[in-house]
Amino acid sequence: MEPPQVLTYELLESITGGFSKENQIGSGSYGAVYLGTMPNGDKVAVKKFHDSSPARDDFNFKTEFDNLTRVHHPHIVKIVGYCYEEKKLNELHQGRLVEVFKIYRVLCLEYLPKGSLKDYLSDGFYNLDWHTCYKIIKGIFEAIKYIHLELGEAFYHLDIKPGNILLDEVVGAKLADFGLSKVFHERLTRTTDSSYGTRGYRPPEFVDRNHVSEKFDIFSMGVVVLELVTGPKCYLEIDDTPHPEFIDQAQKKWRAMLCQKYKDSLLEAYCKQVEKCVEIGLKCAEKNRKMRPEIREIIDQLNETESCISMSDTVQRDKTTRST
């Protein structure tokens, strides 16, 4: 993978219309994100960091830059370029012109035109078909497996939520916003004074005791899976409904849509995949972190559902061929 380009602030200002409100596509605690069009016509997402506290802003910029240059995966948003420029300006201060130094901190990221998962969640939760839902679930779990197990160190995202899952038409979903992500040298549960995650997606052990481990991301993704498959208000029903009944209710809702396209063993295989995804979501969102599954186990279970669908599809194709 090519290293990120060094970009001038002048170029980034030009491609975003001067960081205009019309081109703003997002905002967060660290800055705002703008849509830009590079000279070659490529669309990019331009993240401009705040310039309010030099030490803190430098830390935030460097953390996200380092994290993004560390990861290279089909289901993780790619960094395209960056800008870190210091300029001397003349500004009015108490009626006098004074020289000030201003630092511009900007990251240029790949642009995903379909927005974030947050834009598609609703009480009806049918804005996405099952194939798309499953691609999102499998893709983000693959990204988690990559950062947890394949980088040589314990690397956790620590802010997985629908707003940080971006969608495209090719791979389905990509994990974004690595500003809170953290590298640990050992895979241990630890206590931290730092604030991680977003309310509703933080695991109980962090809320209560500030404990961080790989099960932090597993819990967050469990909540995302449940919101995606059963609706964003699923948490209102989980505590009051036995898990088997909760899974059955979700499967029946999806069956009503899947049966319009599939039948016989293939329909049953897809319904089993829905059931398995809800089951995984519930297990990942367990209050006791020790009861949450390992990421390898999750991927294996998802792969099994794909094998069952493939076998059922083959059987159904054979039946169709013989009948004709």
**CA 118, CA 275: separation in Å to the nearest integer?**
22
CATH code of the domain in which 53 resides: 3.30.200.20
C-beta atoms surrounding 268 within 10 Å: 16
Q: What domain range is 290 assigned to?
A: 117-323
Q: Are residues 194 and 311 in the same domain?
A: yes
In the numeric block, which tokens belong to residue 235?
A: 């948490």
pLDDT for res 82: 97
Domain end residue (candidates: 82, 110, 138) = 110
Strands 154-156 and 173-175: unpaired
Q: Are residues 276 and 177 in the same domain?
A: yes
Q: Are residues 93 and 135 in the same domain?
A: no
Q: Are residues 204 and 274 in the same domain?
A: yes
Strands 211-212 and 173-175: unpaired
Domain end residue (candidates: 57, 91, 110) = 110
In the numeric block, which tokens belong to residue 111?
A: 């642009």
pLDDT for res 186: 60
Q: Are residues 139 and 26 in the same domain?
A: no
Q: Are residues 148 and 194 in the same domain?
A: yes
Q: Are residues 90 and 237 in the same domain?
A: no
**Distance, CA of 34 to chain centre:** 19
Across the chain, which has 324 residues, the per-10-residue mean pLDDT values are 90 96 87 95 95 86 94 96 86 71 92 91 74 96 96 91 90 90 70 79 92 94 94 75 91 93 93 97 96 97 96 78 62
Tell me the residue type at 236: L
pLDDT for res 235: 67
In DSSP terms, which residues pair with 103 in a beta bridge? 86
Domain end residue (candidates: 55, 88, 110) = 110
Q: Are residues 268 and 129 in the same domain?
A: yes
pLDDT for res 193: 59
pLDDT for res 313: 81
CATH code of the domain in which 208 resides: 1.10.510.10
Q: Is 248 a catalytic residue?
A: no
Asked if 143 and 114 touch (Cβ cutoff 8 Å), the reply is: no
Tell me the residue type at 185: H
pLDDT for res 12: 97
Q: Are residues 136 and 218 in the same domain?
A: yes
**CA 16, CA 22: separation in Å to the nearest integer?**
9
Q: Are residues 315 and 200 in the same domain?
A: yes
Catalytic residue among 57, 129, 159, 248: 159
pLDDT for res 187: 64
Count the domains in the chain: 2
In the numeric block, which tokens belong to residue 108?
A: 């240029």
Q: Are residues 94 and 139 in the same domain?
A: no
The pTM of the full predicted model, rounded to 2 decimals, is 0.90
Q: Are residues 182 and 74 in the same domain?
A: no
Tell me the residue type at 151: L
**CA 276, CA 113: separation in Å to the nearest integer?**
30
